[in-house]
Every structure is written in structure tokens, then in C-alpha cells.
């Protein structure tokens, strides 16, 4: 049997890996600009963590979990993390921060696992960059998160549409839930099989269905059931986004697929990644910390689908970015010693350098340098050693010149700046 990669998983090689790394680094830079600290959480958690947070009727828990028995404790079921928020909340409570110092700001990065049907932009292992803020119940915090995402997407040069909504809170959400329940019962014969199963347990999930999209457009809207504090909250979020010149649309069907959201929810939608168009998603989860055994601390956050955003970026850019500034060709053993010294010198000067094999012919090595996308080929043979020079071939315009060995780093840096 061939040892190929598993269905729904992917290998990120060369430009693809660079694109994902670039998105991660840009997200880190923006998060730290907002005074947000890094947190690192385990890949494995107890299954109950996700059942109590994401909700037993969520697709994550019902269909997508990678779960298995703990060999050390048969009573414990472990799960590969499908998302970051529950693990961050669990770590926050474990550290006692919910009681000793509730206001905290964290970002995380790493792989998540969901057993979904694979397609473009959706894999069973994928990377998320997320931000979680605790101890802030104000609308300004929600707006600041969306403004942060807008700053991030502008630095990437990515066009998105922000969609926002409010799901209400414990005061007004029950009436909205009841209205959806009655609407669902009235349209039962038109609902898909999944919605039949969810209707009585969590009718809000009817709005999140990908099968009954047209039907859901006729469902009750959360905006019609908001209490005065919730209405004021979302109006403040919208006002602050408008003042910050962040364009958005209100989507009353936006409920997200997880049970812990309250009040503000939002998504950033890109048209560049096909059907999996949501590249950033988040919202407020004021009751989650308490539901997982902590104090009654407010929370809000978002997660970025790193591979989805990488898909939306210019792929050729990352092919060029990975190319060496110079490929060094050494013809013979003596030339190899000098070539390696030159490579160390150029790398010290912060240039990207690749040493090519000294066991191949000059024409083959020049073809290799060109295939790598190198800007320059540096050729050293016996004649060059005798004269203390290097043949410098500009592969972009096929020009070649002989330069003193001591001037190579200065020449290349000046040429690359131009």
C-alpha cells in the first residue's frame, strides 16, 4: 500500500508554506500592536470541553470531532482541538485569571482538526490565528476587534466584506428562540434532515443551515427581538465602525455555528476563495467562562482561517519571495572552499543564497539557478581563483561581468535595492 497523505489533509510546500507563514506573521504583528499577548494551548483536550462550549447540536460536536478514549484513563475521552476559543477559556480558568486578574488579551496560532467534507479552502487539518479578550463587556471592545481585522486585511491587500449581527442576550434571546421554534414547526415539511434534528434542541441553527438558505430568508430576524441594552450595544458597534471608516453590512441571518455566541457576531467574507468565503469569524461569548466553571467574566474574540486567506493572496508573489538572491556555482574542489566562504559572507549581509552542487556541469547549474528564480548566478572556477574575481551573471537580463571577490556583497546589495 502506498503511504500517501490522508484525505482532507495537505502538505504545504515552498510558496504555499511561505504564504501561510506570511499571513501568520502579519497577524502576530497586528495583534502585538494592539497589546495582545501570546498564549499556547494543547492540541488535546477532554471531549466534554467542546460539548459544553461549542454545543452538542453544533456541527463541530455532532459530526466533525476527532475523539478517542484515553489509554491511561478509560473514563476519559480525548479530542483533537477543532477550534481555539474553548481551550483558551479553559487555560484562563486553570490559571485562576478569571478571579485574580480578569481583564486579559491573548492571541493563539496553530492547527485545528475537523472531520469535514474536503473542498477548496476546507481541510481536516487547518491553521487558525485567533484573538480572545476577557473582562470587557463594552461595545467598544467588539468594534476594536473588527477594526483590528480591517487593519490586518489592509496590510495584506485583501478585499473583504464585513457582516455584523446581534444575537441578543439571556434577556431577549429566549423570545427570538421561541419565534424560530414556532417558525420551524410551521415549515417542518420544507426543512432538511439536519434541521429536523436540531429544531427542538437549538432552533437558532436553522439560520446556519447551508441547505435551507432560501427558506431561512423568511425566518424571524434577531433584530426584531433585541432588548434595549442589546440594541444599544450593536448600535454603538456600528457607530464606531462607521467613524473608523470600516465598511460593513448588517446580516440578520448571521448566527455562527457555535452555541456560545451572544450579542455581537461578525464575519469577514472574501470572494477570492470560492464557496468557503468566510475568512475571519468571531463575536461575543459573555457566558462561556462561567459555563466552563469560571467566574462570570465577559469574553469576545475572533479566529482567522489562515489557509483561506493565503488562498486569496497573489500566489506568484510567494514564488518570487522564496527565490534566492544568488546561486553560487563552484567549478572544482578548490573553488568550492572559496564559494562556501562567499556564501557565509553574503548570508551575513542578509542575502538569500543557495550553493549549487559542484558535481554538475556549468550549463546544467545555470539552468538550475534560473529554475530557482535566482536573481544572480555567481561563478567561481580556477581562472576566477587565480584573479581573485567572481563571474556575476544577472539572470534577469542575461548580463555578465567579472567583479573583485571583495566587492561582491556590496554589488549585490546595491543591485537588489534598485
Q: Which of 295, 316, 337 is the last residue of a domain?
A: 316
What is the pLDDT confidence band of residue 258, given thresholds at 50, 70 and 90? low
What is the pLDDT confidence band of residue 245, given thresholds at 50, 70 and 90? very high
Q: What's the pLDDT at 204?
A: 78
Parent domain of 356: 324-417
The answer as to whether 107 is a domain residue is yes
Distance CA 264, CA 236 (A): 11
Q: Please check whether residues 300 and 328 belong to one and the same domain.
A: no
The answer as to whether 57 is a domain residue is yes
The answer as to whether 290 is a domain residue is yes
The answer as to whether 60 is a domain residue is yes
**114-153 pLDDT, tens digit each:** 998 888 878 999 999 999 999 999 999 999 999 999 999 9
**18-41 pLDDT, tens digit each:** 999 999 999 999 999 999 999 999
Is 362:329 a contact under the CB 8 Å cutoff?
A: yes
Q: Please check whether residues 160 and 21 belong to one and the same domain.
A: yes
Q: Please check whether residues 255 and 331 belong to one and the same domain.
A: no
Q: Which of 288, 316, 344 is the last residue of a domain?
A: 316
Domain count, the chain: 2
CATH number at residue 269: 3.30.930.10
Q: Please check whether residues 267 and 331 belong to one and the same domain.
A: no
**164-203 pLDDT, tens digit each:** 999 999 898 888 888 888 887 888 788 787 777 777 777 7
As a 3-state breakdown, the chain gives helix, strand, coil percent values, each rounded to 5, of 45, 25, 35
The answer as to whether 93 is a domain residue is yes
Q: Please check whether residues 282 and 367 belong to one and the same domain.
A: no
Amino acid at each position: 500500500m502506498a503511504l500517501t497523505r490522508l484525505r482532507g489533509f495537505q502538505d504545504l510546500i515552498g510558496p504555499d508554506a511561505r504564504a501561510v507563514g506570511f499571513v501568520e506573521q502579519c497577524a502576530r504583528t497586528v495583534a502585538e500592536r494592539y497589546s495582545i499577548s501570546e498564549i499556547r494551548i494543547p492540541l488535546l483536550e477532554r471531549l466534554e470541553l467542546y460539548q459544553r462550549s461549542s454545543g452538542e447540536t453544533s456541527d463541530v460536536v455532532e459530526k466533525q470531532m476527532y475523539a478517542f478514549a484515553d489509554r491511561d484513563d478509560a473514563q476519559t475521552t480525548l479530542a483533537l482541538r477543532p477550534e481555539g476559543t474553548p481551550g483558551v477559556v479553559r487555560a484562563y480558568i486553570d490559571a485562576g485569571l478569571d478571579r485574580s486578574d480578569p481583564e486579559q488579551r491573548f492571541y493563539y496560532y496553530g492547527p485545528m482538526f475537523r472531520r469535514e467534507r474536503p473542498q477548496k479552502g476546507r481541510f481536516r487539518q487547518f491553521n487558525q490565528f485567533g484573538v480572545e479578550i476577557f473582562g470587557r463587556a463594552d461595545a467598544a471592545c467588539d468594534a476594536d476587534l473588527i477594526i483590528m481585522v480591517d487593519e490586518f486585511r489592509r496590510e495584506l491587500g485583501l478585499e473583504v466584506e464585513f457582516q455584523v449581527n446581534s444575537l441578543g442576550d439571556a434577556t431577549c434571546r429566549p423570545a427570538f428562540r421561541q419565534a424560530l421554534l414556532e417558525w420551524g414547526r410551521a415549515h417542518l415539511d420544507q426543512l432538511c434532515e439536519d434541521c429536523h434534528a436540531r429544531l427542538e434542541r437549538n432552533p437558532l441553527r436553522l439560520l446556519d443551515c447551508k441547505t435551507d438558505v432560501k427558506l431561512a430568508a423568511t425566518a424571524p430576524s434577531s433584530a426584531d427581538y433585541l432588548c434595549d441594552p442589546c440594541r444599544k450595544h450593536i448600535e454603538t458597534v456600528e457607530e464606531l465602525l462607521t467613524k473608523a471608516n470600516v465598511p460593513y453590512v448588517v446580516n440578520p441571518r448571521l448566527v455562527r455555528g457555535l452555541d456560545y455566541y451572544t450579542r455581537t457576531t461578525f464575519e469577514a467574507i472574501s470572494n477570492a476563495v470560492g464557496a468557503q468565503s468566510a475568512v475571519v469569524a468571531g463575536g461575543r461569548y459573555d457566558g462561556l467562562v462561567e459555563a466552563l466553571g469560571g467566574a462570570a467574566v465577559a469574553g469576545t474574540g475572533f479566529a482567522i482561517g489562515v489557509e483561506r486567506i493565503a488562498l486569496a493572496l497573489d500566489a506568484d508573489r510567494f514564488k518570487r519571495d522564496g527565490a534566492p538572491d544568488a546561486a553560487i556555482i563552484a567549478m572544482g574542489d578548490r573553488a568550492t572552499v572559496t564559494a562556501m566562504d562567499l556564501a557565509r559572507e553574503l548570508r551575513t549581509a542578509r542575502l538569500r543564497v543557495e550553493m549549487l552542487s559542484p558535481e554538475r556541469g556549468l550549463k546544467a547549474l545555470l539552468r538550475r539557478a534560473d529554475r530557482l528564480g535566482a536573481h544572480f548566478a555567481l561563478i567561481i572556477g580556477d581562472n576566477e581563483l587565480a584573479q581573485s574575481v567572481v563571474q556575476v551573471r544577472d539572470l534577469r537580463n542575461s548580463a555578465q561581468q567579472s567583479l573583485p571577490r571583495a566587492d561582491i556583497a556590496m554589488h549585490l546589495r546595491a543591485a537588489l535595492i534598485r
